[in-house]
Amino acid sequence: MRCGTGASERAQPIAASTVSRESVAGPIRRMRSMRPKVTPPAEDPVRRSRPLRHLYSPLLASPRRLLRPMPVSIFSRLQTPFFANASGRLRRAAALAAALPALACGGDVESRMAEVRALQDVGQFNASIDELREILAVSPDLPEATYRLGVALVQTGEPSRAVWALEKAAESPEYAVPASLLLASAHFGSGNYEATVKAADRVLAQDPDRTVALQMRAKGNLGAGSPEDALIDTQRLMELSPDDYGVQVLWATVLTDLGRLDEAKEAHDRIKQTGIDSGDPAVGPRACVAPALFARDQLKDIAKAEELYDDCIERFPTNAFVTNEATKFYDQIRKPERATEVIRSAVEQAPENLSLRSNLSDRLRRQGDAEGAETVLREAAESFKSAGAWNLLASFYRAQNQPA
């Protein structure tokens, strides 16, 4: 079929009776041969120093991530055989055989790319993957298609599969910066810290003050055991964005890793104030606990840590993160009664919070107070009459081998 063939002619369906394995085998083999060769990146030896306790702790991981979090992967659906069954293979092969000549025409590739853009603009990354693979089968050097395939794979939870596409897209001047940024994030997520640094280097060579790239390179250097290098980038970030919560977290982490504890203490105090002042319910409670964790783990000052935990309980008495961290702390310092008091007080102030009730019930049961554990759950079931409350009570009875 020529590129000038009319749309009506191209749209003619292929009759099922004309389809045979022989008639489609050739086009399919050609299409497969045109698929870009996927060469996994060589494994770089990763120097792993002591774990990044602060960078990766639930406290210091900023809820407002530097890059958007990736959704749960659904790409596993695409890892089925190329066609599901014999008849399905023939039908799909016929469609592809008809599509190949059309895809070879620039206008048709552009129309397919327009569809891909529309899908990704509304977050349908998974739906765009097959389209992009077919486009790249006939136009393997199209940088936008390669970049968008990398984006789709990252967004569907397959960053390791996205590496080859992002590496190739980064070779194009138009996509060098966005592809390298996403590549740095993908490498960091897989623990390849030295590759993270290299990808961030490419961005910073063009834009030395690109804050996301500075953050990624600093985190990569921390992971690779080079806190001195991380310090240089983090100092620049503090000059550019001193009030940014994520930057402050990174600054405190680097100082702690370098053993500069006096400065790190001040940095953790600043994190707390920034988080509380933000008024963000996702940030404030975590930021509040930062100095308490630092006092406990780094300064080994239990009295100071207890004072700081008590302050957070007063500020955020019903927050699940604060109550969980505080009860763990009090259990560790052999004050279980205080830990129980923290959860009980939270339940009294937020009686409808089933998560807090479940935690209190579990704690009472472990302490041998089965009657008290049952009462906590029965009160919720009878007061709120919700399915969730009754399910908690039923689960308790099953655990106790009692009839519901």
Q: How far is the C-alpha of 184 from the C-alpha of 189, rounded, in Å?
A: 9
- The band of 75, judged by pLDDT with boundaries at 50, 70 and 90, is very low
Average pLDDT value over all residues in the chain: 80
| pLDDT of 92 higher than 70 | no
Q: How far is the C-alpha of 369 from the C-alpha of 337, rounded, in Å?
A: 13
Average pLDDT over residues 167-177: 96
Contact by Cβ (8 Å): 269, 293 = no
Distance of CA 346 to the CA centre of its chain: 30
- The band of 23, judged by pLDDT with boundaries at 50, 70 and 90, is very low
Q: What is the pLDDT of residue 153?
A: 95
Burial class (CB in 10 A: 0-12, 13-18, 19+), 34: middle
| pLDDT of 226 higher than 80 | yes
Please name which of 159, 201, 202, 177 lies closest in space to residue 73, comparing C-alpha atoms: 159
Question: Where do we find the tokens 């927050």?
Answer: 319
Q: What is the pLDDT of residue 93?
A: 44
Question: Where do we find the tokens 């209190």?
Answer: 360
Q: Helical H runs in 207-244?
A: 211-223, 227-240
Residues 6+ apart with CB under 8 A from 169: 143, 146, 147, 150, 175, 179
Distance of CA 73 to the CA centre of its chain: 10
- Strand, coil or helix: what is 61? coil
Q: How far, in Å, are 328, 348, 357 from residue 389 at the CA level?
A: 25, 16, 9
Q: What is the pLDDT of residue 80?
A: 30
Phi, psi for 89 (deg, rounded to 5): -60, -40
Q: How far, in Å, are 166, 175, 391 from residue 150 at the CA level?
A: 5, 11, 43
Please name which of 352, 338, 341 lies closest in space to residue 384, comparing C-alpha atoms: 352
pLDDT in tens, 189-201: 889 999 999 999 9
Question: Where do we find the tokens 């041969």?
Answer: 33
Please name which of 192, 146, 185 lies closest in space to residue 166, comparing C-alpha atoms: 146
Q: How far is the C-alpha of 92 from the C-alpha of 114, rounded, in Å?
A: 22
- Determine which of 22-26, 90-94, 151-155, 297-301 has the lowest per-residue pLDDT on average: 22-26
Average pLDDT over residues 172-191: 95
Average pLDDT over residues 225-232: 97
pLDDT in tens, 314-342: 999 999 999 999 999 999 999 999 999 99
Q: How far is the C-alpha of 168 from the C-alpha of 170, rounded, in Å?
A: 5
- The band of 49, judged by pLDDT with boundaries at 50, 70 and 90, is very low
DSSP type of residue 85: S
Q: What is the pLDDT of residue 404?
A: 52
Distance of CA 149 to the CA centre of its chain: 18
- The band of 385, judged by pLDDT with boundaries at 50, 70 and 90, is confident
pLDDT in tens, 95-125: 444 444 444 444 589 999 999 999 999 999 9
| pLDDT of 51 higher than 60 | no
The full set of domains in the chain, from first to last, is: 1-8+18-38+66-190 (1.25.40.10), 351-404 (no CATH)
Q: How far is the C-alpha of 166 from the C-alpha of 171, rounded, in Å?
A: 9
- Joined together, the tokens standing for residue 392 give 């908690």
Q: How far is the C-alpha of 293 from the C-alpha of 262, rounded, in Å?
A: 15
pLDDT over 70 percentage in the chain: 73
Q: What is the pLDDT of residue 296?
A: 98
Number of CB atoms found within 10 A of residue 366's CB: 10
Q: What is the pLDDT of residue 402?
A: 63
Average pLDDT over residues 62-81: 31
**Maximum CA extent, the chain:** 83
What pTM, to 2 d.p., does this model score? 0.69
